Amino acid sequence: MSLDDRARQILRDNDAGGFTLPTKRLYPFQWNWDSAFAALGFATFDLDRAWTEIETLLEGQWSNGMVPHIIFRKEDPDYFPGPSVWQTGTEPPSSGISQPPVAASVVRRLLEQAGDASEPRARAAFGKLLAWHRWFHTQRDPDRLGVIAATHPWEAGRDNSPDWDEALSSVDTSGVGSYERRDTSHVDPSMRPTKQDYDRYLAILKFGVAVAWDPLRIYRNGPFLVADPGLTFILLRADRDLLWLADRLGEMAVAEEIASWVATAEAGADRLWSEDLGGYAALDLKTGQSAPALSSVAFLAFYAGLTDRAAALCENLKRFRARSSYAVASFDPGNSRFDAVRYWRGSVWAVINFLIGQGLADQGQIDLADMVRADTAHLIRGGGFAEYYDPVTGRGVGGQTFTWTAAVWLAWGLSDIESTQS
Ligand code: DGY
């Protein structure tokens, strides 16, 4: 079977009926950005199914505009923490935080691909995406700093990145109590966050329950508040794509509002710039402290359309690659906190590579874009459709038969890349 066929088969097998599981057992529900990437994969062979994925994702939208990070479509004892822990009281049941908003950029791509016939579906999605982006700008950046804060590491989508270590170290876990994790019975615990990290994730979650998921109380008084280059840059790109959609769909009444979000973020990104590191770093908004080293999301500046500091970023990207075998390690491979297999502490993620590669290509950094794309293809050829990859050995790690990796394979046309590594 060709890898294209295999990727299509993975998407179909993980299709749970209008929405796609990231992978069975480890993630048995609908996850927000996983679904958006799934739509891009489906769009290469079943455009109708691609739109349905976006529509089911947006069905989970809260009345305040937030699109939650997990939609719990059914009970499943294989996952912890489920809906009874989150206690959000929504229908469908969902978690109480969001996730990187890639969906508007996906909707733009679907509409560009499909043309006028898809306009009604794009229009229906547009109003919901607008409300979601507005929620991010007012509830995750209420002081208009121009940087988007994660109120939980899961909200940034990069669960146990070293970016959060300092902020997590002051989270009080004394009220967490006992619980049974399920993730470590599905994959090797050495690839998953530690018990200490999990306790902290649950303590932050419990704060959300205690304030009935009031987003501003979470922002102002919650135990964790870190401005994330990943969320900030993905939303900035998504806002530009939303503006494109507004223009295409004749929704000009809101164009000014969206343009103001773009301008605020373009200025606000400076807050994340670290002269010492030569890149954009996570910033703890409670203490004012920057992350100790760069994460791969720093390179999403290109994707966000920020080019002022291209030279320093390109140097760092080359350095990351020189210290591993494959681009792009999720955390600086030269830093002592780098860990090649423990989830987001250094491993390579095909979806992040896809966004970085797209941004580099958009900004004319063609050699680096080609390198990231080729490395991604080699990793998937060698390591299978894994959740993520060891940047040193190339081994596929975490969950297997993974939706978003299969989606990237198809959407980025990776079968074009020769199988021999350059
Ligand atoms: C998990 O359960 O590991 C997820 O990443 C939370 O979203």
Q: What are 159-172's pLDDT values in tens digits? A: 999 999 999 999 99
Residue 69 Cβ < 6 Å to ligand 1: yes
Nearest to 25 by CA among 402, 344, 409, 404: 402
CA distance 185 to 126: 40
3-class secondary-structure state, position 273: strand
3-class secondary-structure state, position 269: helix
Residue 159 Cβ < 6 Å to ligand 1: yes
| Probe target for ligand 1 pocket from 21, 29, 71, 159, with the most ligand atoms within 8 Å of CB | 159
Residue 34 Cβ < 6 Å to ligand 1: no
Q: Say which of 141, 239, 332, 387 is annotated catalytic.
A: 387
CA distance 159 to 78: 19
| Probe target for ligand 1 pocket from 27, 32, 35, 194, with the most ligand atoms within 8 Å of CB | 27
Residue-by-residue DSSP string for 348-372: B-HHHHHHHHHHHHHTT-HHHHHHH
pLDDT, tens digit, 9 for 90 and up, residues 9-26: 999 999 999 999 999 999
Q: Is 418 a catalytic residue?
A: no
- Say what the pTM is: 0.98
Write the residue with the smallest CA distance to atom 6 of ligand 1.
154
Distance from the alpha carbon of residue 342 to the mean position of ligand 1, in angstroms: 13
Q: Are strands 226-227 and 149-150 parallel, antiparallel or unpaired?
A: antiparallel
Q: Which atom in ligand 1 lies closest to the alpha carbon of residue 95?
A: 7
Distance from the alpha carbon of residue 252 to the mean position of ligand 1, in angstroms: 37
Q: Which atom in ligand 1 lies closest to the alpha carbon of residue 81?
A: 2
Q: Which atom in ligand 1 lies closest to the alpha carbon of residue 192?
A: 3
Distance from the alpha carbon of residue 250 to the mean position of ligand 1, in angstroms: 38
Alpha carbon 333 to its chain centroid, in Å, reads 21
Helices 229-249 & 103-114 angle (0-180, nearest 10) = 40
CA distance 143 to 165: 25
CA distance 410 to 415: 8
Residue-by-residue DSSP string for 182-239: SHHHHS-GGGS--HHHHHHHHHHHHHHHHTTT-HHHHHHHSS--EE-HHHHHHHHHHH
Q: Spell out the per-residue pLDDT of the chain, length 422, in tens.
A: 999 999 999 999 999 999 999 999 999 999 999 999 999 999 999 999 999 999 999 999 999 999 999 999 888 999 999 999 999 999 999 999 999 999 999 999 999 999 999 999 999 999 999 999 999 999 999 999 999 999 999 999 999 999 999 999 999 999 999 999 999 999 999 989 999 999 999 999 999 999 999 999 999 999 999 999 999 999 999 999 999 999 999 999 999 999 999 999 999 999 999 999 999 999 999 999 999 999 999 999 999 999 999 999 999 999 999 999 999 999 999 999 999 999 999 999 999 999 999 999 999 999 999 999 999 999 999 999 999 999 999 999 999 999 999 999 999 999 999 886 54
Alpha carbon 384 to its chain centroid, in Å, reads 21
Q: Say which of 159, 163, 228, 284 is annotated catalytic.
A: 159
Q: Tell me the two tokens of residue 144.
A: 């208009």
CA distance 406 to 391: 18
Q: Is 315 a catalytic residue?
A: no
Residues in the chain: 422
CB neighbour list of residue 177: distance below 8 Å, 6 or more residues apart: none
Buried b (16+ CB within 10 A) or exposed e, 242-270: bbbbbeebebeeeeeebeebbebbeebbe
